[in-house]
Amino acid sequence: MRKWLNGRPNYQGPPLVFTLVWLVYLVFPLVSLFQLPAVEIVEGLGAVLVFVALYICGYLYERPRLVAVLGLLLIALLFCLKFDATGVYLAFYPSPIIGQLKKRRDLVVGYAAMLSFFTYVIAHFQVYNDQDMLVQLLPAMLVMLIMPVGFKLGQRSKELRMKLNLANEEIARLSKNEERQRISRDLHDTLGHTLSLITLKSELAEKLIGKNPERAAQEVKDIQMTSRAALKQVRELVSGMNAVTIGQEVDHAKQILAAAGIVLEQRGDLATGVPADSGDDGRSDPETRSSSPLIENILGMCLRESVTNVVKHSRASVCTVELRREPGRLRLTVEDDGVGLPSKDEAAAGCNGMKGMRDRLKLIEGVLTAERLDAKHGTRLVFAVPLVDKAGEGG
């Protein structure tokens, strides 16, 4: 049965087993039904079987859903007329099915039919004159009127989560394509010229072997130096392709800052000394990790570049790294007590390192803010990245 339902792409309701469980409450109208004469019992059982069939079809099939709702309300009305106003409880069955109606016209018709059913029952049995009956039925009617709205909102939320997942997958795909293009550009820019130079020098050395051996030997030495430089470039490119995490970069920052005689202070989610986004294996905790490793990788690279700048240019004695998860965003702050930025204009324009960090952040709609702590010293870099909370996906 589960395999059959999973093969139905249009079915978006609850599991069939969950749907069938509620049929147990038909025992109450059945008890009243078995107190009637035999002929009426047979007719009543036929109506109950039709009721069950309409109820199941209303859940499983989209096309006859409105007909199922109207049929269920009609049978509920017949039970009310045959017995008493308590037959209104049968409207609990079509109520969630109304919430599954996709067309607005069908939704309005189904909702109006149920509202008309309640109005007729109240007027026919003069429920408003019976205080006990009013207290008994009115809350149930309100719940049945609210159920389609709640079901519709739940479906809408599920659809939005599905669209969000598709959007995240598309972003991840585009990011991979962008990374491939970047690698291609880096290989072309860094290695293309070097390999061309090696080719030219090797051809020149071949021609000079017989005419000018000393010059040929010098060209061979140049080829060796150029090939070593190319090998170093390849290693740098490969190391740049490896994904990093904020936790790993914090550990790396400890080492490089300690070697430079700079004290590292950790705040926010890093205050415990163990990065909040890092587990025992160096991977991110789901609570602070973004929807994909892309955000964490880019923030890790930005943290690496920031700490490198602190070591090279700041002449600071203390460097503070703060990571905070705020509503809708992740904020990483790198602060030092060094000489500070030369001017506000430079902070706005940024050096090559700052430009590179801003270019990375653009991929994830992030923003870099650079500022002086005061008029004399200190620099603060704030990396703010928007986040999408996925905690509720499983619901």
* 276 has a pLDDT exceeding 50: no
Instruction: State the pLDDT at residue 334.
Output: 93
**Does residue 268 come out as left (phi exceeding 0), alpha (psi in the -120 to 50 range) or beta?**
left
- Distance of alpha carbon 1 from its chain centroid, rounded? 31
Band (pLDDT 50/70/90 cuts) for residue 273 is very low
Per the CB < 8 A criterion, the answer to whether 250 and 303 are in contact is yes
Burial class (CB in 10 A: 0-12, 13-18, 19+), 387: middle
Band (pLDDT 50/70/90 cuts) for residue 233 is low
> Is pLDDT larger for residue 218 or for residue 24?
218
Candidates 2.60.210.10, 3.40.50.720, 3.40.250.10, 1.20.5.1930; correct CATH number of 167-241? 1.20.5.1930
Instruction: State the pLDDT at residue 286.
Output: 40
Instruction: State the pLDDT at residue 333.
Output: 93
Looking at the chain, the whole-number percentage of residues with pLDDT higher than 70 is 78
Looking at the chain, the whole-number percentage of residues with pLDDT higher than 90 is 7
Instruction: State the pLDDT at residue 219.
Output: 81
Summarize pLDDT for 117-156 with one digit per residue, the tens. 888 888 888 887 878 888 888 888 888 888 888 888 888 8
Q: Comparing 167-241 with 246-394, is the CATH topology the same?
A: no
Band (pLDDT 50/70/90 cuts) for residue 394 is very low
- Number of other CB atoms surrounding residue 342 within 10 Å: 10
Q: Which of 335, 332, 342 is nearest to 368 (CA)?
A: 332
Averaged pLDDT, 253-277:
74
Instruction: State the pLDDT at residue 288.
Output: 42
Per the CB < 8 A criterion, the answer to whether 380 and 309 are in contact is no
> Is pLDDT larger for residue 75 or for residue 349?
75
* 24 has a pLDDT exceeding 70: yes
Lowest mean pLDDT among 42-46, 111-115, 135-139, 285-289: 285-289
**C-alpha to C-alpha distance for 195 and 186, rounded to whole angstroms:** 13
Band (pLDDT 50/70/90 cuts) for residue 332 is very high
Instruction: State the pLDDT at residue 192.
Output: 67
Mean pLDDT of the chain: 77
Band (pLDDT 50/70/90 cuts) for residue 392 is very low
Per the CB < 8 A criterion, the answer to whether 105 and 70 are in contact is no
* 383 has a pLDDT exceeding 90: yes
Averaged pLDDT, 328-355:
73
* 244 has a pLDDT exceeding 70: no
> Is pLDDT larger for residue 85 or for residue 352?
85
Per the CB < 8 A criterion, the answer to whether 44 and 1 are in contact is no
Alpha helices in the chain (DSSP H): 2-6, 16-21, 27-33, 38-60, 65-82, 94-99, 104-124, 131-186, 193-211, 213-241, 246-259, 293-309, 344-349, 352-362
Domain ranges of the chain: 2-125, 167-241, 246-394
Say if domain 246-394 classifies as CATH 3.40.50.1970: no
- 225: which 2 tokens? 């130096």
Instruction: State the pLDDT at residue 349.
Output: 44
Which residue in this structure is represented by tokens 């598309």?
Answer: 170
Per the CB < 8 A criterion, the answer to whether 19 and 12 are in contact is no
Instruction: State the pLDDT at residue 242.
Output: 55
**C-alpha to C-alpha distance for 160 and 146, rounded to whole angstroms:** 21
Cβ neighbours of residue 264 under 8 Å, at least 6 residues apart?
A: 253, 254, 257, 258, 319, 320, 321
Instruction: State the pLDDT at residue 294.
Output: 73
* 252 has a pLDDT exceeding 90: no
Q: Which of 337, 319, 320 is nearest to 377 (CA)?
A: 337
- Distance of alpha carbon 199 from its chain centroid, rounded? 49
> Is pLDDT larger for residue 362 or for residue 11?
362
* 391 has a pLDDT exceeding 80: no
* 381 has a pLDDT exceeding 90: yes
Instruction: State the pLDDT at residue 375.
Output: 65
